[in-house]
Structure formats: structure tokens, C-alpha cells
Structure 1
């Protein structure tokens, strides 16, 4: 009897569903069967779409529900003792995303989001001063690579110090995981072979000053470690004047907004290959990328794939309007700095078996006789003689500024491809290039005595440096303020007796381009010694909004002999201009860092107001 009652009930439900379905089909046959969107939203507009563009899981869009929206603001309610994120959204962003963009959700947390906006339904405008939404955001996802470095789904953080005026900061962190097996399968000619030797999985995130992750990239829809045209290392991140993010990886360069909406993601022009390190956008929208020449004929007739020694200028349509083939401007056979470098840490080509060893003149000379070309420290086109790791553009005289790690030199080169000045030890420069080396002076303008590569009065050159950028706000056509991270390997053209004697510095120089002099106006790091030493990567950048300097010692505490078992412990510092001690110190644990920058959430969603 029970079985019969259950059967009759099931039959009744089935008939009811069938009847409803038949009615919908009948309506559909005569035309539109009802509203196009039937999802019930929380508030008085539309539904919530989490991770709307598939690569930014801690973002969402509150759809406009068919209304025209304007004058929107968003507040992410902080956790107890957390950091509030609050921003305005201009009307163009509301139209672009079809609703209110939400940024800064806490992962694995049921977030409270407050929004205000004006809506127009075709008849009247209604101002909503506060509407509350609840949004769960998923936990951070990072694929496992089996490394002993990997303990968590994102790096751990320790907030040591944050002064009140910096409490609203958001820091974009550009890190990566070491090579995983699926990436290694498409690396060719290891340990040589262009960008795919560096096929490290991206670990890009935005941290608040409480050490919480408020955004991260899940790149899986745009990154494929088994494809030569979808892999590489994501590098060169910047937030541009329009609030959008540019970067590159391997054979691609890209621009996205912070919600993950693609503006473009393009292959490099066919004449170039192997983007890494540097992509800078000029005020006219042109992009300067550090690449290599895909096919270059040497003076001896040999055709080679060059290594990190070309800067290409692309317009907004991806047309290569100019390039700088730096072996034509510099001396690719200057070897004094290369012979002083630690072979175990040539940027990301870390080989613990070569830690502490250097190249001899005989070994360099043998490369030519053996036709030894590829991604290796060496001299001559087709080898890693320059290793350019940053590029900047100076609009005052239409020049570029490059950091050549393997020459321990920062060089300014004009549109005519002639060198304007060189910030480097005078050792090893010949002919006209020797006359372009800047002369050190003190604060009173007096010459500083130097002998070889060592100078008095606390002045020093930069060694295997990174991130050599013009401070636009403090520079003019003659005076050039330069910020740079002096990694410190090969300091003084030698390896110290003890590795623990090495140190890195954040440095700012004042260059008088007419007098060809350079004054060191600020530095930090030497006093912290080996603990703060970053053998590779890292950056220094001036911040206009707070008249401050951001420093990321991105591979601090990296033990090369334990590289595959132990990652670095990077340090974020921010200083008031001229300060000897930081206003911010945040330590990251067990991660490989590259660069960082201050992320401006207002510019991201309200660039018109800037």
C-alpha cells in the first residue's frame, strides 16, 4: 500500500512538471515566453556574478538588472581589525561591466559588500545610499608542483610595521613558483633555450597592509605550461595611467583590467621572441618591451637567436615602430663584470652547483671556438652578454634607459641609438663609451675619488642591478633622478671571501646630464647585510601620492644551495622620501619574488578622476 501511494505521488509530480513544461513550450512557440533574466538578486538591481572573466576569483560584478546605473561607490567591509577597501566607480566602468564591479573580497570568506548608486529605469532616477550584499569568495587556488617550497596555497605574510599614513596601501606582488614537471616537458636544450627555460607558474596577488590576500590571478584560462605560445614567466607588471595592468610572458604581451577583462593578449611580432622582465608604457600608449632578436646574422655570418639584448617599441596596434639592438650601441665583448659574477645565480638561471664560481677569460674565449650559443653568461651576440632586465622611457629627450645586469650598468640610449651616459664602474669601457661614464660627486659638487671600481665617501655603483627607472616627478630635461635596486653580486668587480659579506641596496641617484656627473642621494640595505641580500630580481620605485619609495627585496634569504628545497623570504618596505628607516615592513615567506608595485584601486575604477 505504501508503495502504491508513493507511485501515485510520483506520477502526480511528473504530470505537473510535464504540464508546466508543455505550457512553456507553447508560449515559446508563439514568441517570447517571459523575461530574459529571471535570476533573483539580493538587492534591488541584478544578480551577482563571481569571477566574471575567469582569472580574478576575488572579484565580482553586481549586474545592473536592466537599469542604467551611475555614481556608484563600493565598500568591502573589513574583517575585525582588517583593512577597508573603498572606491568610486565611474559610469564608463559601470557600462563596460554591465553592473557594479567588486574588487578586494577576502578568500574563503562570506564577505559583506556595501554599495551606493543611482539607478534609472526609464522613468525616474532613484538614489540608493546603501545597499548590502553578502558574497562568498572561494579560497585561493595554486596548483601543486611537488616542491618542498610549497606549504600553503599562497605565500605566508608577517606584518612587522605599518605607519598610519600607509595603512590604506595595497601591494601588487609579482611572484612565481619554480618549474613543475609539466612545464619541464616543453623546455628545449636545457639549460639553454630562451623564454621557456623560465616557464614558472605565476603567483600574482594583491596584499593589504594586514597581510591579507585581496586579489589573486588564476591564470589557467590564459596560461598553458605545455604550450610554447602560452607559457613563460609573467613579468613586467605595471598599472598604467588608465588604471589597467600590462605585462608579458614568454612570446606574449597583454593588457587586462583588474577584474580580468582582456583588453588585448597578443603574440610578439614575428621579428622578436622571448619577452621577459620589462614592459613599460609611454604616455602616448606606445609600449617598450625587452625581447630578443628571433633571427640575427652576426658579423661572422653565423645566424643566432639573441638573448635579452633588444628593446622593441610597439604602437597601440602592435606595430613595431622602432627597436634598439643593444650590441650596436654598447660593447658586447666587455667582459669584466661578467667574469666577476656568481655563476650560480644569473638571474633565474639558478644552478647551485656553480654557486660561488666565476668565468675565466679562457672559458669565455672558448665559447666562440666551440660555437657555444644560447642562454648562458658570455660575450658576443647570441649569448647572455647584456641581460637587460628593465627599460624606461624619458620623454624629455626621446630616449630609453636600460638596466644591463650582466654589465652591471645602467645606460641611457637615444633614438639615434647612441649612448648618452653610463652609470657603471669605468673599468672595461673603451673608446667613445669610456667618455660616457658618469663621474661621481658629493652633495657639494666635489669630485669623489675612485680607484678602479671602488669609491670613497660612501658612493658606490650598482652591481647586477634591477629596475632602473626615471623618477619623472623629480626630473627635468637636465636633472635625472634614477631609482634602482643594486643587487650587489660582483660588487667591486670581485666575489668576496665569504658569501655572507654580500649585501644589496635600494639606491637613488641624481644625474646632471650636462655636466655628466652623478650624486648618490639615498641608499638603504647595506646596514642590514646578508639577511636583506637579494642575489636576483627585486625593485625600487618612487610613489608620487605619498612622496615615498617602495622597495621589494624579492629574493632576500635565498639559499642557492637549497634552491629546490627552500625558497626566498622577500621583504616589502616603503620609505618616506629621504627616510633612513622604513614606514612599512611586510615579510613574505617561502616564495620566489620578482617585483611589486603599489596598486591604486581608485585609478582602476575611476581613472577619469585622476
Structure 2
């Protein structure tokens, strides 16, 4: 007679020697369990929601637990991540959420908690060993890709003091691949699907180590139009969860990867990109486009990046701002001086240094050219709004319009309140909305050429200057008050002075703080950084500047710094190397600088693990 293994013995072999509370196989057998229990609670589930591989949940094991604290023990000379966990998160995840593990590494996790069983409370400290997998990101198939997230990372200036425990959420992307380029949404032309790039999102600590990344394959598919696009507009909400959008979706997930909602855009709108901003009332402002507009000439078009829509918590449309009706979609003053080789993510090296002529713009209507192309009129990329922020003091929105070189405040009544930017080319109806530059004492600053060039334009000593092809215009809530608005802006700097320089290497970018006196209709430049860095810190596209209330600091992300093109050949002469910088309020030099090599950046910001797991 053949000898057979008992079910218990076989189970012991299958779990590889782990000690378990009870093991059974072969069907229902009462309350037994047949998986490994490595500690005093339940099983460990790594990547519990399938999109955040460097997270885990230590399940409760059926016990009631509270007063939880988690510590990720760092590598040698690494950064400790430690946080308390509110009871709601324990109930939501069925145990203790673990965030911040190192990839391809056996992490040491220390947990403290109170276990309640049979009416008795017991304070427990345990240590777990959890292997987290290596980072996986789709290959582009191109020879310049050397790593999954970036080629290398350099901590140029180490964080210390209050910045030592910072974590930075990075929103980058991978250039087009053979998988994504086969999908073209063509109804009638263009739209956000033309930006079909693999997401590349991760959290860095101040040592330059990756401590979280998004593995998007469960919610994203390059091959299907409704589930592709570029993931952009990431924000950490007041409740600690993350919101963003991509293509035809806007979403909310917690940092563990749990879906809170993932919605298609309302049917009237399409092509999300750039900005999803949460309002004080819990509504969201989305930067989208009109899915079907009947133009004055009778043509039906999809518009491009020129609509702001407000949706409530349930996804109902509360209001919209149709910028082609509010502003002048035919103002071509900026359009004609843009470097056509670097129009946000539509980077075309063959057009480096080329600008559009009046004749070229005029031919677009005749030749029926529509979609994500630089041009004028609804149906083309005339506005390119890349950020939206809400001012609760008067229920207005503040937008950054890259292709108008303008930061604009617009009321609920759809009327323009003010405009920061060069005065040239605006129609009479907007001229009293154009702000007057002043110095710190309130003295008027006189600018040249219809206020397109101010004294700081070419001065090495700095001074007031407008922003050009800017990204992000965020209100500093804690420093602003009714009638006075402080703003952070990333001044990319293409078309500075409403012209292209003689040599491409002369371009530079700035992080800027402006102060607007709404009653006096003036704007003051309070702080700037970047001009002294020159071409090294210049980002022709993307990027962000934002005030951080928790540390009274300014954060800046020069997202494609170092990427320049030779005007004669159209070839790149430098790899994009995004720079993370954070400054003490008013400081001339950063307290933190981290540089990534060969990475296409969009935006980044400090991430709060405390907020993510708090009450």
C-alpha cells in the first residue's frame, strides 16, 4: 500500500516551513486557516490593491486593535518613516497599513499596537520582515532608457533640520512607446489621447530612495482610448487621499491603492489634463475641454484645454467656465512667439526655434487643421490652461494660461477680475483688468513695448518681470486675505519678452511669488529664484512652484531642466534632469536639492504620510 502525506503535513510543506496557528486543505474544515501567520496578528498582504507594490497590510487576525504606530526601519544612513494610524484606516484596510518600504529589499517593519481580546487590552511591540518587489515599469524600447524611473538620482544638497523627514511625490511620465502610439482618438482630431505616455509616479525620500510607486496596469491601458492619456494634476487632499486625472477619467485613491472613485468625465466634456483642484466645499475643479462645440462658423469641434468644470462629490456638474467665451481665443500675440519645438508635452525637436507666422495661423481654418496644435480659435490649443485654483474669499478661480502668458482671475459671473502678464495684444474690454507692476514701496514700475518687457527682463540683478509660458499659479491661502492675493508661479521663460533669444542657451526659468492688490490693481514681485541658474535650471515645459504651509516654505520642481535643443539641427543637447528644490520662506538658496537624470518630469510636491493615515 502506498503511503500518503497527511493534510497537515502537506500543508506544512506548502507554506515552506512557516509556523501557523492552524493549517488545513481539502475543503471546508471548520474555523481553520491555511495561510502563514508570521506574527501575533493575521496574514501579511503585500500590494493589497494591486497598484501600490511597496505597501502592505498586516491583517488584524480577527482581533480588535488600536493605538497603532508603524516604523519602517531605514537602510544604513537612510531615512526613517514612522507614523501613527487612525482607527478608521485599520477598519478600512482590515489591519495595519504599511507604507514606505524599499523596493527589492527585505524590509524591517516595527509596529506597536494595543490588542483587545476577551475584554482584555494588551500593548504589543513586534517586528516583521517583509520583502517588497523590485520596481517594474514598461520599457520604451529606446536605447536612452537605463532604469525604470530614472537613470540615477543625486542628492545635491542634503536636507536637514525641519526638512530632514520630507517625502516628495513625483509625477513624471515615460516617453511614447510602441504600445501607445497605435491609438489615436480622431473625432474630429486630437485631444488628450495624443498624449499617450506611460505613467511614472513615485515617492522619494530626502536620501533619494524610492519608497512608493504606482503600478498602473490595473487602471490604465495604453491601447484603449478610454483608459489612456497622461496621468496629471496629482494633489494630496485634506483627507490625505490622492486625486488626479488621465484622458477621459478623474479619480481618487488612497496611498495604499484603494479606489475611492474612478469616474469617466461628464459626457459634455472630454480630454482631462494638467489640473484637478479640490475646493473647500469638497467639489473638484477639472481642466477639460468641450466634447462638441458648434462654432460661430457652423463647424463642430472638440475644443482643447480651454474649459474648467466644477463637479460635486457625486460627479454632478455644478458649473463650467468656457474660456473661449470669457477670454479672446484669437489673441495671437503669444502664439506667434512660442518655440514650436517645445509646446508642453508635444515636444517636437524638428521644430526647435521655429515660431508660427500670421500666415500659418490664418491657413488653419482654410485647411481644417484642428486638435492639439498651437493656433487660435476654439478647436485648437490657444489657451493651454495648466492650473486652476479656487479663491474662496470671492468664489473665483485663478488660472494659468500658458499660451497667453497670463495668470487670470475669473469670477463666478464669468467676468475677468484681473490679469498678470504683458499688456500687448489684449482687446479693449480687458485693458482695465491688466495689473500695473509696482515695487515693494508701491512705486509704479514702467515697462517697455506695451508692457511686455519690464526692468528685470535682462538685468542680472533681477527685479520685476512677468511670467512667460508659465505653469501653475497657486494662491497662498495662509498669507492672502480678501483683496490681497499672494501667488506662487513657475515662470518657464520661453518667449520671455515676447520674443525668442538669439541663442537658445540664454533661456532661464524662475520660481516666483507675486502679490496682487486687487483694489489698487497692482502686482508686486515678492521673491524669485532660478535666473542665476541659467540654462542648467531652465524648463521649457511642465514644472511647479507651490507654497507649503506646514513648514512655511516654497517648493519648486524644474521638471525638464537641462533639456535643450540645438536650433540648427533640432537635436537634443542635454538630458532632461528634473530638480526638486525646497526653500525657507524668502531664502535666496534652497535648503534641499535633489536631481534626477534622464527623466521626463511633470510636477512634484511634498507628500505627508501623517495626513495619509490621520483622522
Shared fold (TM-score, shorter chain, > 0.5): yes
Rounded to whole Å, the distance in 2 between the matches of 1:19 and 1:66 is 25
1:569 to 574, 577, 582: 577
- 2:513 & 2:207 partners in 1: Cα distance? 28
- The structure carrying a bigger helix percent of its residues is 1
- 1:341 aligned residue (338, 344, 349): 338
Aligned-pair distance for 1:395? 0.5
Q: Which residue of 1 aligns with 2:324?
A: 327
Contact 1:345 1:560 in 2 (8 A): no
Answer yes or no: is the 8 Å Cα contact 2:543–2:602 preserved in 1.
Answer: yes
Matching residue within 149, 160, 183 for 1:154:
149
Do the aligned partners of 1:66 and 1:121 also contact (CA within 8 Å) in 2? no
Say if 2:133 is the partner of 1:125: no
Find the counterpart in structure 1 of residue 465 from structure 2.
460
Q: Is the 8 A contact 2:101 2:132 kept in 1?
A: yes
Matching residue within 581, 585, 605 for 1:597 = 605
- In the TM superposition, residue 142 of structure 1 has moved relative to its aligned partner by 0.9
- In structure 1, the residue matched to 2:77 is 81
Give SS of 1:454's match: coil
For the structure 1 residues 486 and 34, does the alpha-carbon distance in structure 2 shift closer, same or farther, using more than 3 Å as the test?
Answer: same
Work out the CA distance in 1 between the residues paired with 2:420 and 2:518.
Answer: 11
* Post-superposition offset of 1:54: 0.3
The alignment's C-alpha RMSD in Å is: 2.0
Contact persistence 2:7–2:25 (CA under 8 A): no
Q: 1:477 aligns with which of 458, 482, 488?
A: 482
1:176–1:203 CA contact under 8 A, matched in 2: yes
Within 2, Cα distance between the matches of 1:27 and 1:217? 37
- The equivalent residue for 1:142 is 137
Aligned equivalent of 1:585, options 581, 593, 615: 593
* TM-superposition CA deviations, 1:1-21 (whole Å, max 9, x none): xxxxxxx6xx1126x569999
Q: 1:120–1:126: 8 Å Cα contact kept in structure 2?
A: yes
Aligned to 1:55: 51
1:424 counterpart residue number:
421
Aligned-partner Cα distance in 1 for 2:418–2:181: 41
- Partner-residue secondary structure (3-state), 1:359: coil
C-alpha distance in 2, partners of 1:20/1:214?
A: 37
In the alignment, structure 2 segments of 5+ residues that lack a partner are 12-22, 457-462
The DSSP-based 3-state class of the residue aligned with 1:186 is coil
SS of the residue aligned with 1:368? helix
The corresponding residue for 1:536 is 541
Q: Deviations over 1:129-151 (max 9, x none)?
A: x2100001111111111123310
* Residue of structure 1 equivalent to 2:33: 37
Instruction: Pick which of 555-564 and 573-582 moved more.
Output: 555-564
Residue in structure 1 matched with residue 16 of structure 2 by the alignment: none
Helix, strand or coil: the match of 1:472?
coil
Quick check: 1:74–1:115 contact (8 Å CA) kept in 2?
yes
User: Contact (CA 8 Å) 1:350, 1:560: kept in 2 or not?
Assistant: no
d(CA) in 1 for partners of 2:609, 2:500: 43
Contact 2:183–2:225 (8 Å) recurs in 1: yes
Q: How many residues align?
A: 591
Residues 106-153 of structure 1 deviation map (CA, whole Å, 9 limit, x = unaligned):
01111100000111123211111x210000111111111112331012
Residues 231 and 245 of structure 2 are in contact (CA less than 8 Å); yes or no, is this contact kept in structure 1?
yes
Partner of 2:210: 213
| Aligned 8 A contact 1:172 1:204 in 2 | yes
Structure 1 counterpart SS, 2:226? coil
The whole-number CA distance in structure 1 between the counterparts of 2:382 and 2:58 is 51
Other-structure match for 1:551: 556
User: Closer, same or farther in 2 for the Cα pair 1:144/1:566, shift >3 Å?
Assistant: farther
Q: Which runs of 5+ in 1 are unaligned?
A: 1-7
Distance in 1 between the 2:25 and 2:273 partners?
Answer: 59
Contact 2:349/2:572 (8 A) holds in 1: no
Match of 1:13 in 2: 4
Structure-1 residue corresponding to 2:112: 116
In structure 2, do the counterparts of structure 1 residues 18 and 249 end up closer, same or farther at CA, with 3 Å as the change threshold?
Answer: closer
- Counterpart position of 1:201: 198
- Equivalent position of 2:448 in the other structure: 451
SS of 1:139's equivalent in the other structure is: coil
Secondary structure at 2:4's aligned position in 1? helix
SS at match of 2:379: coil
Counterpart-to-counterpart distance in 1, 2:375 and 2:543:
23
Q: Which of residues 290, 311, 314 in structure 2 aligns to 1:314?
A: 311
Query: Would the aligned equivalents of 1:147 and 1:565 in 2 still touch at CA under 8 Å?
Result: no
Check the 8 A contact 1:504/1:533 in 2, yes or no: yes
Query: What is residue 519 of structure 1 aligned with on the other side?
Result: 524
Give the distance between the partners of 2:230 and 2:26, measured in 1 at CA. Answer: 54
Output the CA distance in 1 between the equivalents of 2:119 and 2:571: 65
- Distance in 2 between residues matched to 1:148 and 1:20, nearest whole Å: 48
User: Does structure 1 residue 379 correspond to structure 2 residue 384?
Assistant: no
Give yes or no for contact 2:563–2:572 (8 Å, CA) kept in 1.
Answer: no
Is the aligned partner of 1:227 residue 2:224?
Answer: yes
Cα deviation, residue 250, structure 1:
0.3
When residues 17 and 429 of structure 1 are mapped into structure 2, their CA distance, relative to the original with a 3 A threshold, is closer
- Give yes or no for contact 1:149–1:567 (8 Å, CA) kept in 2: no
Which residue number in structure 2 is paired with residue 507 of structure 1? Answer: 512
Q: Determine the C-alpha separation between the residues in 2 that align with 1:55 and 1:516.
A: 48
Measure the CA separation in 2 of the matches of 1:281 and 1:306: 24
Question: Which one is further off, 305-314 or 39-48?
Answer: 39-48
**Aligned counterpart for 1:64 among listed residues 43, 60, 65:** 60
Q: Which residue of 2 aligns with 1:5?
A: none
Q: Deviations over 1:146-171 (max 9, x none)?
A: 12331012212100112412110000
Tell me which residue corresponds to 1:395: 392
Query: 1:33 offset after TM fit, Å?
Result: 1.9
Structure 1 pair 337–326 and aligned structure 2 pair: CA distance change class (3 A): same
CA distance in 2, matches of 1:79, 1:353: 45
- Does the CA-based 8 Å contact 1:198-1:232 persist in structure 2? yes
- SS of the equivalent of 1:500 reads helix
| Contact in 2 for aligned 1:191/1:197 (Cα 8 Å) | no
**CA deviation map 1:270-315 (0-9, x unaligned):** 1000000000001111000000000001111111100000000000
Change (3 A) 1:225 1:566: farther
Structure 1: distance between partners of 2:101 and 2:25:
44
